[in-house]
A and B are shown apart, each in its own frame.
Chain A
Amino acid sequence: MPYNIHFPALLIVLPLMAAPLCVIVRHSFFSWLIAVVVNICVVLFSVSLLLQVIDGDVIRYTLGGWAAPTGIEYYIDTLNAVLMVVISIISFFSLIYSKASIQAEIAPQRYYLFYTGWLLCLTGLLGIVITGDAFNVFVFLEISSLSMYMLIALGKERKQALLAAFRYLIMGSVGASFILLGIGFLYAATGTLNMSDLALHLVDADQSRTVIVGFSFITVGLLIKSAIFPVYSWLPNAYQYAPSAVTAFLAGTATKVSLYVFLRFFFHVFGSEYSFAEMLLGKILMPLAIVGFFAMSIVAIFQTDIRRLLAYSSIAQIGYMFAAVSMATEAGVAAGVIHIINHAFIKTALFIAVGCIAYRLGSSRIADMGNLIALMPWTASAFIIGGLSLIGVPLTAGFVSKWYLVTAAIDSGWWSIAIMVLLSSLMAIMYIGKIIEVFCFRKTTENMKGADVKEAPLFMLIPLWALIIISVYTGINGSIVVGTAELAASQLMGGML
């Protein structure tokens, strides 16, 4: 028996079992240690899974020994394997970072709850990605969302954090209910919940009104969950008031996972023919995505709080991803996946850098950050590299993803979209440039003179620079990410049954 056939189950079960263990141990250091050790295992498992599927294979793991349409199965192809690697690596680095950062943000007796919530959230996110069962997606979505609400509510500014978590709870629950209803309608129409099986049955049931209703419900639910333009209102507050490690984790994973579910449902389950040619999903999403990245980039320019600025920039980036995906071509989907991966690393790094700054400065207002390049050279330079990557400067990961996005748009003949992406990149130059200007050319402000500002602790800098190095490496040697993303896209578009 090969040693690795149970990796799909262990990937989910290990963090799931570690979470109650943290509650029993109830010790701040040991629960952190448990979380880190488990996370290392999860990284290894997911990398091993990616290596198994990288040549186009598909792993199907049946839980409980019940074969696919009857039981729940885990379905792993390139798309979700690569996302699992991204999620587990981001979770790992944010966890290392959280050790030092939560000391300034959370009461010590709550540390073990923090790590319990973290592990559950990791379980949920990985579960959404790995599962091949539509109802299972909903269950894991709830696991990750509920633990995410709790993690956000632990934030330093108690009142705002609670309110932000509550807003996210309301919006997230509305979204999740839509998804659940949609899945229910699909079940009513087809009598199956397994995704590949659903895809087979939906071909016959295409014209049924039940399927159309289910399709619309799932669309609306996923749009809310992934915070696309008109329904993004939960995101800025959640990102601003959550503990900084949680923001870093959330920014890199939560909305990306919803986008993954979007890809999985509309390309795999419904099929791109039905979703985009018949239901005209692209015609609805494309304007939303374009308005999203334009409007949110403009809003980001006017923010005074650096975390809020990055939050709005995140919504803009989600707009890019949706714009790429709604082209419904193989190049478009590949560009979307490339941007999901690259942006996940960049945004996590940026939020960790912001967390380091706030840790020393005690403030996240941009105006307070004058002359930071001299006071915190490592942190500030990491932020600048990340920021350049967000703009899409050559030699950074952001350039690779924007390049493929623009190429995909031109390939499908949508010149206007290519131009608008470039225009909104100019806005990114404005809001990142604003921060760089303060970092490098402004003097330390009066109210920050007294504060003892020095370089962030080593334990915060290591994960920060590791993520920056990853994103620069994928910028210079883009072929790893691009190759996997293209394979994932071709599998997804080629009706991978």
Chain B
Amino acid sequence: MNKQLEQRHRVVQVITKFLTPMILLFAFYVQFHGDFGPGGGFQAGVIFASVFILHGLIFGEGRTRLVVTPNILRISMSLGLLLYAGTGVVSLLLGGNFLDYSVLASDAVSGQHWGIFVVELGVGITVAAVMISLFYCFSSNRFLDRIPFKIQEEE
């Protein structure tokens, strides 16, 4: 990406930077308010990932890879699933059936609440990680090793 090209995208870049925290905030709202209103882990994960996809589209996927490395994605993808299944195992250990959230807290209602909360968090993490890695897979990686090199050059 040369200097002129970067200038041409200046407006988009500024707007992207401006929107990034808002989208992230919205993702967290959808995630954590999901048990009271519309929303939930899947939607929140996609919204969360869309920030990084937008970043990749505007600033080049190579720079996004510096922020969210494939290693982080690999681990968070697995952690999300482990969080979900782990909730089920915890409820097993507390004497309920698998994924029976009622035993997670002192009373059944808040137990269900906590169970859904944690499980949806697991879903959100996995979905976000999978969305970003899908983007990495499909976006061109032919110039992958060249782009970080360019960035270093500019510095």
Binding site for B on A (CB under 8 A): 1, 6, 9-10, 13, 16-17, 19-21, 23-24, 26, 61-65
Contacts and interface: CB of A to CB of B under 8 A. Distances in A.
B97 A1 contact: no
B79 to A, nearest CB: 7
A65 B88 contact: no
Contacts of A63: 97-99
A408 B21 CA distance: 70
Contact of A23 (B78, B95, B97): B78
**Interface size for chain B: under 10, 10 to 19, 20 to 34, or 35 or more residues?**
20 to 34
Interface in B83-130: 85-86, 88-89, 92, 95-102
B86 A17 contact: yes
A62 B91 CA distance: 13
Interface of B: 74-75, 77-79, 81-82, 85-86, 88-89, 92, 95-102
B85 A23 contact: no
CB-CB nearest 6 A-B residue pairs:
A20-B78, A9-B98, A65-B100, A64-B99, A23-B78, A20-B81
A70 to B, nearest CB: 13
User: In the complex, which of the residues B88, B89, B98 has the most CB atoms of chain A within 10 Å of its own CB atom?
Assistant: B98
B98 A17 contact: no
Contacts of A23: 74-75, 77-78
A333 B85 CA distance: 37
B100 to A, nearest CB: 4
Given A6-B92, A24-B78, A16 B85 contact: yes
Contacts of A6: 92, 97-98
A26 B74 CA distance: 10
A481 B98 CA distance: 32
Given A20-B77, A21-B78, A61 B95 contact: no
B74 A13 contact: no
Nearest to A62: B97
Contacts of B81: 16-17, 19-20
A61 B81 CA distance: 22
Contacts of A24: 74-75, 78-79
B82 A20 contact: yes
Contact of B89 (A13, A19, A64, A65): A13
A421 B147 CA distance: 65
B100 A64 contact: yes
A134 to B, nearest CB: 19
- Give the one of B77, B96, B97, B101 with max A CB within 10 A: B97
A13 B78 contact: no
A98 to B, nearest CB: 21
Contacts of A17: 81-82, 85-86, 89
A23 B80 CA distance: 12
Contact of A9 (B75, B78, B86, B88): B88
B112 to A, nearest CB: 10
A255 B86 CA distance: 31
A16 B97 CA distance: 17
A493 B148 CA distance: 66
Between A1, A10, A16, A20, the greatest number of chain B beta carbons within 10 A of the residue's beta carbon is seen for A20
B85 A65 contact: no
A438 B99 CA distance: 56
Contacts of B86: 17
B89 to A, nearest CB: 7
Given A9-B92, A17-B82, A23-B77, 11 more contacts: A9-B88, A9-B98, A10-B98, A13-B85, A16-B81, A19-B81, A20-B77, A63-B98, A63-B99, A64-B99, A64-B101
A1 B100 contact: no
B136 to A, nearest CB: 16
Nearest to A17: B85
Given A13-B88, A17-B86, A20-B79, A65 B96 contact: yes
B108 to A, nearest CB: 9
A23 B95 CA distance: 30
A484 B99 CA distance: 32
B95 to A, nearest CB: 7
A11 to B, nearest CB: 10
Contact of A65 (B77, B78, B79, B102): B102
A31 to B, nearest CB: 12
8 contacts: A9-B98, A10-B92, A13-B85, A13-B89, A17-B82, A23-B77, A61-B97, A64-B97
A63 B89 CA distance: 12
B51 to A, nearest CB: 24
A20 B78 CA distance: 5
A479 B77 CA distance: 47
Contacts of B98: 6, 9-10, 13, 61, 63-64
A2 to B, nearest CB: 13
Contacts of B100: 64-65
A9 B87 CA distance: 13
Nearest to A65: B100
Nearest to A16: B85
A1 B92 CA distance: 12
Contacts of A65: 96-97, 99-100, 102
Nearest to B100: A65
Interface centre among A10, A62, A65 (most CB of B within 10 A): A65
A1 B103 CA distance: 16
A64 B99 CA distance: 4
B121 to A, nearest CB: 15
A340 B120 CA distance: 40
A411 to B, nearest CB: 43
Nearest to A20: B78
Contacts of B77: 20, 23
